[in-house]
Structure 1
Amino acid sequence: MSAEVDRYIAAQTPAFAKALTTLRARLLALLPDHVEVMSYAMPGLRQPGPKGKMVAGYAAFTHHLGLYPHSGRVIPQIDCTPFKTSKSGVLFTPDTPLPDALLQAILAARQAEIAAGFGRKA
């Protein structure tokens, strides 16, 4: 699947491609056992195993990049100041990447949500 992610990143402008490559490396370092996939037309990382849940995806748009924890409950519970957010993600630019602490907080919150069984059918 990483070849598909490589193509996605290569299709971006040089500044966005560099920022996505850096974010990708940071995510892979923080989630080393996770599987790199394309989901909802964006690169991301899924838990290992056949029923592994999506932990986070990332994408490039015309004027910004975004990190999406595949849950509408994660971002609202984290202080993402000074970054613009939506219910489902946090937006940033190549000039202002997400700080390590914020990236780690988002991933930890999403992993805790998955561990608690959010989204599982009873």
Structure 2
Amino acid sequence: MGTVTTYLDTIEGPDRAALERVYALARGLVPEAEEGTSYAMAALIYRGKGLIAAVRAKTFLSVYPFSGAVIASSLDVLADFETTTGSIHFSVGQQLPDAALRRIVQARRAEIDARAR
């Protein structure tokens, strides 16, 4: 059992389902990603780098693509969400659309692949 699985086991109900959705979509796009940690968060790791993390805070859920450039390049599809340079905040009632998640995961994968060359 990896760290994402262990982390999700600590969360119940709708929050867990929302976080699981993020990880499931990312795993579908990058099946070779493995569970691990990045910046002390349970994350999917691709080629030794953090691909994506989804965590629960006190008042919101967050996605961390470990790249300010990925967030900045996706702001047009994130207009309805609070963002920081490193995270995207959402809730069970206002989840990130699949298309936005796909774009973020694919952009992060491409970024990691480009740096690995």
SS of corresponding position for 1:73: helix
SS in 2 for 1:103: helix
Structure 2 residue ranges without an equivalent (≥5): none
Give 2:39's aligned residue: 40
Aligned to 2:87: 89
Do the aligned residues in 1 keep the contact of 2:43 with 2:52 (CA within 8 Å)?
yes
| Offset of residue 83 of structure 1 | 1.0
Q: Which residue of 2 aligns with 1:57?
A: 53
**Structure 1 residue 67 and structure 2 residue 66: aligned?**
no
Shift in Å at residue 66 of structure 1?
A: 0.8
TM-score by length of 1: 0.81
Contact 1:74–1:88 (Cα < 8 Å) also in 2: no
Q: CA deviation at 1:5?
A: 2.2
Query: Is the Cα–Cα contact under 8 Å of residues 26 and 102 in structure 2 kept in the other structure?
Result: no
When normalised by structure 2's length, the TM-score is 0.84
Bigger CA radius of gyration: 1
1:70 is aligned with what amino acid?
F
Report the number of matched residues.
115
Q: Would you say 1:31 and 2:30 are equivalent positions?
A: yes
Distance 2:106 2:25 in 1: 14
Over aligned residues, Cα RMSD in angstroms?
Answer: 2.0
Structure 1: gaps spanning 5 or more residues: none
Q: Deviations over 1:64-111 (max 9, x none)?
A: 111111112210121211111111121111122211110111112212
